[in-house]
Chains A and B, each alone.
Chain A
Amino acid sequence: DVKVTQSSRYLVKRTGEKVFLECVQDMDHENMFWYRQDPGLGLRLIYFSYDVKMKEKGDIPEGYSVSREKKERFSLILESASTNQTSMYLCASRVLGVSYNEQFFGPGTRLTVL
């Protein structure tokens, strides 16, 4: 079974703080993704990484950055948290290849920015 874990289930931070969300997968997947999930808006892609040290912007990268120094770990960074970044954050990983496009999701981190 693929395991995707996220460092925290719930996180409360203050406006202006630097926030790190960590994601680890144990199946040697090349692709990793960060989404935010908001009611009525579904999942929106923030960033994805198709390999170590590679990253691509998704639909809503503003206010976020990412880091992928090791294949199994993909970090999402909020340089200066703002209240409109209060959301559920989902990490996902996927094995590369035409036949294997299933994304495996972590449990999510519910971030509240006060």
Chain B
Amino acid sequence: AQRVTQPEKLLSVFKGAPVELKCNYSYSGSPELFWYVQYSRQRLQLLLRHISRESIKGFTADLNKGETSFHLKKPFAQEEDSAMYYCALMVGNNDMRFGAGTRLTVKP
């Protein structure tokens, strides 16, 4: 079954510390993975997608097919990174499966 697992519901780090939000997936095909972010009182928006191999707001995510993971990383967290983060897996051409989300809090 296609599934996305984010094992941490809550994650708290201090400003300037590295942060890693974990995401594991289960999919028999070639995965297309995304990270979406929802800041307080804002709508859910795309942060980055693995196919673009981009770094957005200092965040990167590498697809590891051997470990079926797509962890989101940032070397130095900022207070404005505090938000809800969702990992998502594209299934087929139409369906997107989201994980349960991780709420990141960056403390001053």
Interface residues of A (CB under 8 A from B): 4, 31, 33, 35, 40-45, 48, 50, 56, 58, 90, 92, 101-103, 105-108
Contact = CB atoms under 8 A, between A and B. Distances in A.
26 contacts: A33-B96, A40-B9, A41-B100, A42-B100, A43-B86, A43-B98, A43-B101, A45-B95, A45-B96, A45-B97, A48-B94, A48-B95, A50-B94, A56-B94, A58-B95, A90-B44, A92-B44, A101-B96, A102-B34, A102-B46, A103-B96, A105-B43, A105-B44, A105-B45, A106-B43, A108-B43
Interface residues of A, dominant DSSP: strand
A31 B43 contact: no
Interface of B: 6, 9, 32, 34, 36, 43-46, 49, 86, 90, 94-101
Interface residues of B, dominant DSSP: strand
A75 B73 CA distance: 37
Contacts, number: 45
A4 to B, nearest CB: 8
A36 to B, nearest CB: 11
Contacts of B97: 45
Contacts of B32: 101
Contacts of A48: 94-95
A101 B49 contact: yes
A43 B88 CA distance: 10
A58 B95 CA distance: 8
